[in-house]
Amino acid sequence: MQSPGRISCNPPFFATRLIGHSQENRPLILHYTPRFAAAPGGTLFIGGMHGDERATVLILLSFLDRLRHGDRVDLTPPALGVLPLANPDGYLHNTRTNAHGVDLNRNFETGWSAASTEPPGGCPWSEPESRALRDCILSQRPERIVTLHWALGELDADGPQSTPLAMAMWNALSPNQRALYRLRVSGSRQVSPPPAVCPGSLGQWCGEGLRYPDGSAPAIVTLELPHATHCPRPPSLPADHLDYLRIAWKRDARAYLEAVEGSVHSMLRAAC
Ligand SMILES: [Zn+2]
């Protein structure tokens, strides 16, 4: 398996910037195009917020690689930032949480709840990783954010401003690929059942809490990779589906990645 430490994305197309450090002092590295750095706006992709959702990290690294090696997007470099690994300590320890035992995707301010089922931290922004991500978003003010998770097999849009982004990503899929995902768009009849409440998630903060100085808010889509690569997403996943995935990942990670790359890369390109 590819280790994140071995990856480097260098100029001319991507530069890198340190946006902070994890609890255990590992670097949080943003890869970005010159157009992304030149002005507010653009698209920010985030992977590995849950450290054990390893496919999200490797998919973003392979997407970066493809952009650097001749994908058509190269011809018109997008304003694009990529944070492949938002929780490096969790990735190393193969845990959902950071080294403090906090679920970073419950540590954002909007809707934060001490009663969250997953450990939310002592207060909003208690963790260095969530603060670094907050500060990166506040300083860059991306127009679109896609945060990758594994593996509910869905596109989940928070806030009404996020619907066009979710639809663009959905429309990039072939009918066969769509069968692997479910589309969940706030305030739309396409939601069934209604979106689950994730108190203190990045999606809640960007979708409902965060406003830039000009009053606008970023569009945000949570892209949950599919739980399987060949059969339609069932209406509800069995409670033990994550355990099943972890076993399957150990056995056949490469085959899983190769099978999902097509659909995920199409959606990422549509979000650029
Ligand atoms: Zn996740």
Q: Which residues are within 8 A (CB) of 40 and not within 5 positions of it... i.e. 6 or more apart?
A: 140, 141, 142, 143, 212
For 221, 235, 249, the CA distances from 182, given in Å and listed in that order, are 13, 9, 22
Contact 16, 9 (CB under 8 A): yes
pLDDT at residue number 11:
39
Positions in the chain short of pLDDT 70: 1-12, 70-76, 186-196
Going by their DSSP bridges, the two strands 27-32 and 15-21 should be labelled as antiparallel
Contact 221, 184 (CB under 8 A): no
Q: Which residues are within 8 A (CB) of 265 and not within 5 positions of it... i.e. 6 or more apart?
A: 59, 62, 63, 66
pLDDT at residue number 1:
41
pLDDT at residue number 230:
80
Question: Ligand 1: distance of its center to the CA of 90 in Å?
Answer: 12
pLDDT at residue number 247:
85
Question: Ligand 1: distance of its center to the CA of 214 in Å?
Answer: 31
CA atoms within 13 A on the CB side of 85: 29
Contact 43, 144 (CB under 8 A): yes
Give the predicted TM-score (pTM) of the model.
0.91
Question: Ligand 1: distance of its center to the CA of 73 in Å?
Answer: 28
Cα dihedral value 52, 81, 262, 4, nearest 10: -40
pLDDT at residue number 5:
40
Contact 35, 43 (CB under 8 A): no
Question: Ligand 1: distance of its center to the CA of 151 in Å?
Answer: 7
pLDDT at residue number 161:
95
pLDDT at residue number 103:
98
pLDDT at residue number 92:
97
Query: What distance in Å separates the CA atoms of residue 144 and residue 169, rounded to the nearest whole number?
Result: 12
Question: Ligand 1: distance of its center to the CA of 253 in Å?
Answer: 17
The encoded tokens of residue 60 equal 């973003």
Question: Ligand 1: distance of its center to the CA of 6 in Å?
Answer: 23
Question: Ligand 1: distance of its center to the CA of 53 in Å?
Answer: 6
Question: Ligand 1: distance of its center to the CA of 139 in Å?
Answer: 25
Question: Ligand 1: distance of its center to the CA of 131 in Å?
Answer: 18
E-only strand ranges, 153-264? 154-158, 182-185, 219-225
Question: Ligand 1: distance of its center to the CA of 96 in Å?
Answer: 7
pLDDT at residue number 52:
93
Query: What distance in Å separates the CA atoms of residue 95 and residue 242, rounded to the nearest whole number?
Result: 13
Query: What distance in Å separates the CA atoms of residue 80 and residue 65, rounded to the nearest whole number?
Result: 14
pLDDT at residue number 242:
82
The single-letter DSSP state of residue 156 is E
Question: Ligand 1: distance of its center to the CA of 50 in Å?
Answer: 5
Contact 226, 153 (CB under 8 A): yes
Question: Ligand 1: distance of its center to the CA of 49 in Å?
Answer: 7
Question: Ligand 1: distance of its center to the CA of 76 in Å?
Answer: 31
Question: Ligand 1: distance of its center to the CA of 11 in Å?
Answer: 30
